[in-house]
């Protein structure tokens, strides 16, 4: 059987359980695809071939005994800011160039228990700071649909790996759009769960109050499967919810008749590209044809979301990155003549330009003279944003919005930090509010993929996955499939 690496989780599960394919064959197919295309795309930073083949053989033994779990024998890749025991974890930074984690992130442990197979680690913007995966210390990641363009970020490597069939699914992290935006650029599905739905234990902290681990998959059903495995309360992460994890597959194919979907006027500024408008109008038209009722609403606080996000995020990450000082973690400048030079050189030589920029911004807004004017005010506006979403979801089941303001841009095209930060303008509000959000492929415009975003109330992933799955199935009939052989 050819092209095993192109299978979805559901397809692979059926073939594995019928013993028509083996986990070893499936893993070898993915490793072969990585070997063939990673030199050009640069999606993977570490490839754990020996570990993957060992895990595949163990999975085949479990299957032979009649065991079957949702992800037994399914190969995946993980973003390189998730700790993986015995496998290098760099966060795409020179600071952690040779760091090997002593334990697994909780999400990785849950996948390991299921029998999922870790193929390796994916490239990202350094410490997840970026929206293009151009900020990696280990080279730019290229979009497989057009290698002159970015894949989005910061989970660009994970999105590229799934789009290029290097794995069956991947894990990313989403702080203000880092799963959803690259999913849009690469024509795959990217899910940001509710804050507190998935444990952050073992995820290198960027912005602790918005960081979420989420799956990047080939369809919505696969996202539901992965989410069901990695979700749940974790005593090692006090921010995780004790709310019971729903059966995300139970109503995933439920018809949309009677569902109310909001159409937010603030999500259509004059600066929105023609391509984004086309993709969102297509999704709106399809939702209506599927029986959903479209309702126009207003979320005025949305206007401030990007400003609020880029005050809170640098503030939290400047604090989180303080530990990388060359003493406890990271590169250390051994030629230093005094402690001041030691700190300056250790951090200055190892952090990239965007990490330095955000550390300085964060330190500034937390300083005694500006804390109240910036950080405190931003938190008040964050509360406003959350309350607007809460009120909206009392009236509607979901909200439809663009994922990104434009299609994937060319590598090196956006040199202004402000232009890069505006990539998150439709993504930061759901992150600040802690609500679940998903990007699904909509259409191709000028031969480039474009995604649309759906959001629902906090911990209403079951409803979100149902609506997005029905829409995905409808839109996918016209969607293109990547063929790297051409």
Q: What is the 3-state secondary structure (H, E, C) of 45-110?
A: EEECHHHHHHHHHHHHHHHHCCCCCCCCCCEEEEECCECCCCCECCCCCHHHCCCECCCCCHHHHH
Task: Note the pLDDT of residue 353.
Answer: 93
- The two three-digit tokens of residue 448, written as one number: 């480039």
CA-to-CA distance for 129 and 95, rounded, in angstroms? 14
21 touches 15 (CB < 8 A) = yes
* The residue to which tokens 């005094």 are assigned: 338
Residue 62: exposed, middle, or buried by beta-carbon count in 10 A (0-12, 13-18, 19+)? middle
Is 178 labeled as catalytic in the residue annotation? yes
Is 173 labeled as catalytic in the residue annotation? no
Domain boundaries, the chain: 4-256
Query: Quick one: how far is CA 286 from the chain centroid?
Result: 25
Is the full-model pTM beyond 0.85? yes
Helices 23-41 & 49-64 angle (0-180, nearest 10): 160
- 93, 132, 154, 468: which is the annotated catalytic residue? 154
- 28, 70, 79, 259: which is the annotated catalytic residue? 79
Cα dist from 212 to 5, 340, 434, whole Å: 27, 35, 9
pLDDT band at 227 (very low <50, low <70, confident <90, very high): very high
| In the predicted structure, residue 1 carries a pLDDT above the cut 80 | no
Average pLDDT on 200-215 reads: 97
Cα dist from 189 to 3, 127, 156, 216, 280, whole Å: 20, 22, 13, 6, 16
CA-to-CA distance for 90 and 138, rounded, in angstroms? 10
| In the predicted structure, residue 243 carries a pLDDT above the cut 70 | yes
Q: Which CATH number fits domain 4-256: 3.20.20.410, 3.90.1300.10, 3.40.640.10, 3.90.1200.10?
A: 3.90.1300.10
- 48, 136, 173, 178: which is the annotated catalytic residue? 178
Task: Note the pLDDT of residue 479.
Answer: 85
Average pLDDT on 175-191 reads: 98
Mean pLDDT of the residues in the chain: 95
- The two three-digit tokens of residue 452, written as one number: 């649309």
Task: Note the pLDDT of residue 354.
Answer: 94
Buried b (16+ CB within 10 A) or exposed e, 187-218: bbbbbbbbbbbbbbbbbbbbbebbbbbbbbbb
Q: Is the dihedral of CA 299, 300, 302, 303 positive or negative?
A: positive
Average pLDDT on 179-208 reads: 98
| In the predicted structure, residue 145 carries a pLDDT above the cut 90 | yes
Cα dist from 132 to 11, 39, 102, 448, whole Å: 31, 18, 30, 16
* 3-class secondary-structure state, position 223: helix
* The residue to which tokens 């570490």 are assigned: 46
% helix / strand / coil in the chain, to the nearest 5? 45, 15, 40
Is 79 labeled as catalytic in the residue annotation? yes
| In the predicted structure, residue 458 carries a pLDDT above the cut 90 | yes
CA-to-CA distance for 357 and 127, rounded, in angstroms? 13
Q: What's the Rg (C-alpha) of the chain?
A: 21
Average pLDDT on 434-444 reads: 97
Cα dist from 99 to 73, 112, 207, 329, whole Å: 28, 21, 21, 9
Average pLDDT on 464-473 reads: 98
Average pLDDT on 26-45 reads: 98
| In the predicted structure, residue 81 carries a pLDDT above the cut 80 | yes
Average pLDDT on 244-259 reads: 97
Task: Note the pLDDT of residue 325.
Answer: 86
Average pLDDT on 410-435 reads: 95
Which are the contacts of 442, defined by CB distance < 8 A and separation ≥ 6? Answer: 279, 280, 282, 283, 450, 451, 452, 475
Q: Which of 86-90, 114-118, 189-193, 480-484 has the lowest mean pLDDT?
A: 480-484
452 touches 400 (CB < 8 A) = yes
CA-to-CA distance for 241 and 244, rounded, in angstroms? 8
pLDDT band at 485 (very low <50, low <70, confident <90, very high): low
pLDDT digits (tens, 9 = 90+) for 285-299: 999 999 999 999 999
Q: Where are the beta strands (DSSP E) in 175-311?
A: 189-192, 212-217, 260-264, 293-297
């Amino acid at each position: 059987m050819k092209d095993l690496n192109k299978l979805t989780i559901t397809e692979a599960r059926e073939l594995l359980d019928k013993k028509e394919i083996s986990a070893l064959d499936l893993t070898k197919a993915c490793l072969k695809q990585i070997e063939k295309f990673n030199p050009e795309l640069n999606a993977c930073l570490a490839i754990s071939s020996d570990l993957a083949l060992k895990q595949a053989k163990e999975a085949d033994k479990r299957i032979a005994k009649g065991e079957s779990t949702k992800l037994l024998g399914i190969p995946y890749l993980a973003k390189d800011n998730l700790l993986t025991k015995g496998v290098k974890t760099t966060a795409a930074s020179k600071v952690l160039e040779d760091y090997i984690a002593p334990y697994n992130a909780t999400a990785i442990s849950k996948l390991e228990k299921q029998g999922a197979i870790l193929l390796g680690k994916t490239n990202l913007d350094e410490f997840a700071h970026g929206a293009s995966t151009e900020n990696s210390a280990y080279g730019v990641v290229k979009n497989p649909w057009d290698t002159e363009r970015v894949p989005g970020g910061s989970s660009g490597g994970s999105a590229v790996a799934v789009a290029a069939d290097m794995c069956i699914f991947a894990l990313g992290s989403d702080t203000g759009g880092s799963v959803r935006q690259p999913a849009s650029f690469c024509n795959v599905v990217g899910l940001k769960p509710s804050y507190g739905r998935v444990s952050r234990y073992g995820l290198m902290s960027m912005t602790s109050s918005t960081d979420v681990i989420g799956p990047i998959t080939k369809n919505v059903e696969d996202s539901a499967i992965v989410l069901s495995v990695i979700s749940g309360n974790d005593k090692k992460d006090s921010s995780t919810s004790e709310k019971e994890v729903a059966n995300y597959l139970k109503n995933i194919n439920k018809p949309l008749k009677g569902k109310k979907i909001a159409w937010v006027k603030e999500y259509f500024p004059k600066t929105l590209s023609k391509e984004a408008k086309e993709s969102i109008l297509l999704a709106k038209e399809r939702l209506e044809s599927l029986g959903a009722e479209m309702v126009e609403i207003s979320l005025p606080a949305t206007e401030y979301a990007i400003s609020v996000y880029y005050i809170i995020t640098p503030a939290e990450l400047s604090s989180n990155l303080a530990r990388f000082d060359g003493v406890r973690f990271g590169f250390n400048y051994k030629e230093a003549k005094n402690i001041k030079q030691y700190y300056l050189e250790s951090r200055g030589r190892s952090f990239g330009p965007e990490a330095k920029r955000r550390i300085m911004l964060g330190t500034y807004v937390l300083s005694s003279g500006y804390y109240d004017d910036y950080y405190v005010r931003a938190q008040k506006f964050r509360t406003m944003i959350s309350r607007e979403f809460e009120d909206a979801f009392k009236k509607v089941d979901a909200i439809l919005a663009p994922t990104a303001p434009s299609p994937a841009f060319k590598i090196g095209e956006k040199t202004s930090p402000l232009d890069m930060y505006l990539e998150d303008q439709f993504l930061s509000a759901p992150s600040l509010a802690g609500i679940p959000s998903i990007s699904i492929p909509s259409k191709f415009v000028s031969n480039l993929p474009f995604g649309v975003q759906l959001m629902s109330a906090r911990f209403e992933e079951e409803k979100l996955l149902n609506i997005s799955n029905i829409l995905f199935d409808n839109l996918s009939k016209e969607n293109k499939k990547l063929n790297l052989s051409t």
